[in-house]
Chains A and B, each alone.
Chain A
Amino acid sequence: MSATVAKRREPRLGEDLYEARLAHGMPVFVLTRPGYDKKFASFATRYGSVDSRFRRAGGDWTTVPDGIAHFLEHQMFAQEYGDAFERFSEYGASANAFTSYTNTTYLFSCTDRFADSLRLLLEFVQQPYFTDAGTNKERGIIQQEIRMYRDNPGWRLSEGLKAALYQRHPFRLDIAGTVESVEAITTDLLRMCWDTFYHPSNMVVSVVGDVDPAEVAAMVEASLLAHPRPEQGSIDRDVAGEPDAIATPRVEAEMAVARPVVALGFKETDTAVSGDAVLVRDMATEICLEALAGKSSSLYNRLYESGRIDGTFHSYYHGERDFGLSVLSGETSDPDAFAEAWIGGVKSLLATGIDPAVFERQKRRMAGEFAASFNSPESLSYALNATYFAGSDLFAYGRLLDGLTLADVNARLHQHFEPSRTGVSVVRPKG
Chain B
Amino acid sequence: MRVFHTPSSKFKTVTIRVYLHAPLRADMVTWTALVPHVLARGTRALPTLGDLARRCEELYGASLGAGVAKIGESQSLYVGVDAVEDRFLPEAARAVAGSVGLLRELLLEPARDAGGLLRGDVVAQEKENLAHRIQALINDKIRYAGMRLIEEMYRGEPFGLHAYGRLEDLPQVDAAAVTARYEDLIAHAPADVFAVGGDPALGDELAAAFGHLGGAGAIPAPAPGQAPAEVRRVTETQPVDQGKLNLGYRTPVTLGSPRHGAMMMYSGILGGFPHSKLFRNVREKASLAYYASSRYESLKGLLLVAAGIEPERRDEALRIIEQQVEDMAAGRISREEFDQTRSGLRNRLRSAEDSPGAMIDVAAEESMVGAPRTLEERLAAIDAVTDADVAAVARDVRLDTVYFLTSPQDGSGGSAPHGRGVEGASA
A positions within 8 Å CB-CB of B: 12-14, 33-38, 83, 85-86, 88-95, 109-112, 137-138, 140-141, 144-145, 147-148, 150-153, 255-259, 261, 294-298, 300-301, 304-305, 307, 310-312, 331, 361-362, 364-369, 371-372, 374-377, 430-431
Q: How far apart are the CA atoms of A300 and B52 in the complex, in Å?
A: 13
Q: How far is the CA of A184 from the CA of B290 in the complex (A)?
A: 20
A148–B49 contact, CB under 8 A? no
Which A-B residue pairs are the 6 nearest by beta carbons?
A: A368-B60, A92-B343, A35-B10, A368-B61, A295-B53, A140-B287
Q: Name 22 A/B residue pairs within 8 A (Cβ), A-sorted.
A: A14-B88, A34-B10, A37-B354, A38-B351, A109-B347, A111-B347, A144-B242, A147-B242, A150-B241, A258-B132, A258-B136, A259-B136, A294-B53, A295-B53, A305-B125, A311-B133, A371-B88, A371-B89, A372-B82, A375-B12, A430-B239, A431-B239
Give the Cβ gap from B153 to chain A, nearest Cβ, in Å: 22
B139 CB contacts on chain A under 8 angstroms: 153, 257-258, 261
The 8 A CB mask of B244-286 against A (1 = contact, 0 = none) is 0000000000000000000000000000011100001001100
Q: Tell me if B155 is interfacial: C-beta within 8 Å of chain A.
A: no
In the complex the two chains form, is A90's CB within 8 Å of B340's CB?
yes
Distance between A362 CB and nearest chain B CB, rounded to angstroms: 7
Residues A364 and B50 in contact, CB atoms below 8 Å apart: no
Q: Given the complex, which residues of B lie within 8 Å of A89, measured CB to CB?
A: 273-275, 340, 343-344
B418 at the A interface (CB under 8 A): yes
B308 touches A (CB below 8 Å): yes
Given contacts A94-B347, A365-B56, are A141 and B138 in contact (CB under 8 A)? no
Q: How far is the CA of A37 from the CA of B353 in the complex (A)?
A: 8
B62 contacts chain A at the CB level, 8 A cutoff:
yes
Query: Quick check: A256 and B238 within 8 Å, CB to CB?
Result: yes
Of chain B, the residue at the smallest CB distance from A312 is: B136
Q: Say whether A364 contacts B60, CB under 8 Å.
A: yes
Residues of B within 8 A of A153 (CB): 139-140
Q: Is the beta-carbon distance between B310 and A144 smaller than 8 angstroms?
A: yes
Residues from chain A with a CB closer than 8 A to the CB of B49 are: 295, 300-301, 304
Cβ–Cβ contact B284 & A83, under 8 A:
yes
Q: Apart from A361-B57, A365-B56, A376-B355, what are 13 other A-B pairs with CB-CB below 8 Å?
A: A33-B354, A37-B354, A38-B350, A85-B275, A94-B351, A141-B287, A144-B308, A151-B240, A256-B141, A257-B138, A362-B57, A365-B60, A375-B355
Across-interface contacts of B339 in A (CB, < 8 A)? 90
Known: A307-B128, A372-B84. A144 touches B289 (CB 8 A): yes
With known contacts A366-B61, A375-B12, A85–B274 Cβ distance under 8 A: yes
B89, B348, B353, B354, most chain A CB atoms within 10 A: B354
CA of A181 to CA of B68 in the docked complex: distance in angstroms? 43
Residues of the A chain whose Cβ atoms lie less than 8 Å from the Cβ of B141: 151-152, 256
Q: Does B309 contact A (CB under 8 A)?
A: yes
| Alpha-carbon distance between A14 and B95 when the two chains are bound, in angstroms | 18
Complex: how many Å from CA A362 to CA B355?
Answer: 26
- The answer on a CB contact under 8 Å between A38 and B340 is no
Is the pair A367, B340 in contact by a Cβ cutoff of 8 Å?
A: no
Distance (whole angstroms) from the CB of A200 to the closest CB of chain B: 27
- Bound form: Cα–Cα A67–B301 in Å: 41
Partner of A110, one of B57, B62, B347, B356: B347
Docked pose: A86 CA to B281 CA in angstroms = 13
Minimum C-beta distance from A254 to chain B (A)? 8
Q: How far is the CA of A44 from the CA of B419 in the complex (A)?
A: 46
CA distance A156 to B153 in the complex (A): 31
What residue in chain A is nearest B55 (Cβ atoms)?
A296
Whether A148 lies near B308 (C-beta < 8 A) is: yes
Task: Give the shortest distance, in Å, between A360 (CB) and chain B (any CB).
Answer: 9
B346 and A92 within 8 A (CB) = yes
Residue from B9, B37, B58 within 8 A of A361 (CB atoms)? B58
The CA-CA distance from A300 to B351 in the complex, in Å, is 38
Nearest B residue to A370, CB-CB? B61
Q: How many Å lie between the Cα of A91 and that of B339 in the bound state?
A: 10
Q: Mark contacts of B56-89 with chain A using CB atoms, 8 A cut-off: 1 yes-contact digit, 0 otherwise.
A: 1111111000000000000000000010100011
- Of all chain B residues, the one with the shortest Cβ separation from A96 is B274
**Contact between A259 and B135 (Cβ–Cβ < 8 Å)?**
yes
- CB pair B60–A298 under 8 Å, yes or no, is no
Tell me if B367 counts as interface (CB < 8 A to partner A): no
